[in-house]
Amino acid sequence: MGARGAPGGYSTECYAMIVRHNDSGSQSLLRASTESTTLWLVFGKTHRATMDVSDTLPDDIDALRALVLAERATRAAVVAERDKLAARNERLEAIIAEIRRAYFGRKSERITDDQLSLALEELETSFAKVEAEEEKADPALKTAATRKRRASRNENLDHLPHEEVVIEPESKACPCCGGELHVIGEDTSKRLDKVPAKVRVIVTRRPKYACRSCEKTGADTVAGVIQAPAPARLIEGGLPTEAMVADVVVSKHADHLPLYRQSQILARHGVKIERSTLAQWVGAAAAELQPLHDHLIHLLKASPRLFCDETRCPVLDPGAGKTKTGYLWAIARDDRPWGGGSDATGHPQHRGGGPPAVAYSYAPGRGGEHAAKLLDGFNGILQVDGYAVYKKLAAPTRPGGPVTLAYCWSHLRRKFYEVYVGGNAPIATEALARIKLLYDIEAEVRGLPPERRRALRQQRSKPVIEALKPWFEDSLAKMSKGSKLAEAFAYGLNHWDGLCRFLEDGRIEIDSNTVERSIRGLALTRKNALFAGHDRGAAGWAMIASLLETCKLNAVDPLGWTTDVLTKLVNRWPASRIDELMPWAYAAKRP
């Protein structure tokens, strides 16, 4: 072998040549420059290499010209692909830069998850615009992109209404003989369409009837005028239908669209409805839905296991002329990770608390008395973070019996992560790696029955935790007590028994992320609305959000459910059948 692996008798350049074939079957060894469109014939250092190259070149000038043009076209395709990949890399680098800024930038420069989503949307939109412009300018690129989009479509739209549009030729007569054409097949394509929201007026007419015979005989005092009774309305004497009110409620609490923005949207349709009027509609709906919220909390507290958490809720304080801090407390149930709860028909699959659900309750503070009031009557397993007020619920002297606390590994992991992102933190890095082992095991046992989950945790997770505690103790003894890392170790050791509780019960989750996820929607509504108008408004906010979030957990359309339930409630639905109005019951009735 010669230099850099070239065979004996050949130069390195000659060995790197690319073997090409022309249409006539003759071969040539050519190398295209990556910096220029010039094509060079490369000859080796020896006479043998030169002879080999000349033997492979066609003698015919036209064939040689065709070969050069083919090489030129091939290189142009390679350059185009290179430029396309470079643009894609630029897009990915921009996305990575935004993610790094969100998680690792200076505190003053960091952005929230919502801001990150917006930034990524803008990036994707800008690059999609460039790609669309390139497709317009290059028919071949457009054809390839169209073929790729069709191949990647994997949607199932059978559950949506379908509207067929048939496109016929301008003439069904044969262009050759004038005879009538007949169908031999067809091409079918599907496109997703959306009908914009339409504001309409429903005119209800109730004809009045009287009997002509009775009028003549004077007996019409018995029959009188016959007329169908007026249908019940959510807002008597008001404009909106129950569906209209439901749309306002869902837009505000599920889609996080404040009422003043909804008022602006209606104005674009030529309908002027003040924000205060919309607020009255929402209030009327809340009054009807309140019994369902009370029933939801009752059902949740009858469950053997719950999650609990709390989040801030700014509330306007009229006397002080500013906002005060209230809190929305959340209790949640989700037994799906171990196959518990109920299926769509309501029949239990395993012994669990029932379908997934969440209920929020407003309180003016964060003290233990609010947690005690919310969880009064519950004495099962409570999955929480390390907030101290929950420990009072586990006291043996608690009326109704103590709860069993299971603490959250995600909160512990977060404390180490805060140290890790500061850089040069080998101990925090090791702590995260050890905790990751537990989460890797949890990913494997998710969906298994409780007894199987417990067995696998005892076999695989327990040794990890048994080795983790002495390492926590030794590490804490070697570091300054006031450091953030020491606080993380101390937090873990102070909550150790509750952190280990998931090892003994397959129904318990390793963390309380279930309830934290349910709170995210509240945070977004809070961000858009800034604050609640008063305590009663915050309580109504919590009530409606509970029912709509429970709809989402059960894969129920919040708008469809709210419309159906409001219609039934205003028509005097019996209280004894309230279970039939819960979101999971609505899901079971769907086709």
For the chain, how are helix, strand and coil distributed in percent, rounded to 5? Answer: 55, 10, 35
How many helices, marked H, and strands, marked E, lie in the chain?
A: 22, 10
Secondary structure (3-state) at 566? helix
**What ranges do the domains of the chain cover?**
3-57, 76-143, 282-589
Per-residue pLDDT of the chain (591 residues; tens, 9 = 90+): 444 344 444 333 333 333 333 333 333 333 333 333 333 333 333 334 334 444 577 788 888 888 888 889 889 888 888 887 887 777 777 667 666 666 555 554 455 555 555 555 555 666 666 676 777 777 877 787 777 766 666 567 787 889 999 999 989 899 899 899 999 999 888 888 888 788 889 999 999 998 887 766 665 555 678 889 888 888 888 889 999 999 999 999 888 888 889 999 999 988 999 888 898 899 889 989 999 999 999 999 999 999 999 988 877 665 555 667 888 999 999 999 988 754 333 334 445 678 999 999 989 888 989 999 999 999 999 999 989 999 999 999 999 899 999 999 999 999 999 898 888 889 999 999 999 999 999 999 999 999 999 999 999 999 999 999 999 999 999 988 889 999 999 999 999 999 999 999 999 999 999 998 888 767 665 554 444 446 677 888 889 999 999 999 999 999 999 999 999 999 999 999 999 999 999 877 665
* Structure token digits, residue 564: 């159906």
Distance CA 6, CA 9 (A): 8
Chain length of the chain: 591
The pTM of the full predicted model, rounded to 2 decimals, is: 0.71
Distance of alpha carbon 221 from alpha carbon 214, whole angstroms: 8
DSSP single-letter state for residue 173: B
Dist. CA 10–CA 30, nearest whole Å? 15
Tell me how far CA of residue 169 lies from CA of 166, 498, 553, in angstroms: 10, 73, 49
Q: CA 573, CA 549: separation in Å to the nearest integer?
A: 23
For residue 361, the number of C-alpha atoms closer than 13 Å in the C-beta half-sphere is: 21
Q: Return d(Cα 439, Cα 433) in angstroms, integer.
A: 10
Residue 321: per-residue pLDDT: 55
Residue by residue, DSSP assigns 11-66 as -HHHHTPEEEE-TTS-EEEEEE-SSSS-EE----SSHHHHHHHHHHS-SSHHHHHH
Residue 553: how many other CB atoms lie within 10 Å:
20
Q: Which long-range contacts (CB under 8 A, 24 or more apart) does 556-561 make?
A: 556/583, 556/584, 556/586, 556/587, 558/250, 558/254, 559/246, 559/247, 559/250, 559/254, 560/586, 561/586
Q: ∠ at Cα 492 (490, 494), nearest 5°?
A: 65
**DSSP-derived secondary structure for 450-491:** HHHHHHHIIIIIHHHHHHHHHHHHHHHHTS-TTSHHHHHHHH
The token pair that represents 223 in the structure block: 């029959």
- Give the containing element (helix H, strand E) for 326: strand 322-333
CB 20 within 8 A of CB 11: no
Q: Which amino acid is at 142?
A: K
Tokens 């010039």 -> residue:
38
Asked whether 515 and 330 are in contact (CB, 8 A), the reply is: yes
CA dist., res. 75 & res. 575, Å (int): 77
pLDDT of residue 102: 61
CB 263 within 8 A of CB 247: no
Do 284 and 294 meet the contact criterion of CB atoms below 8 Å apart?
no
CA-angle at 28, arms to 26 and 30, nearest 5°:
155
Q: Quick one: pLDDT at residue 298?
A: 95
First-last CA distance in the chain: 73
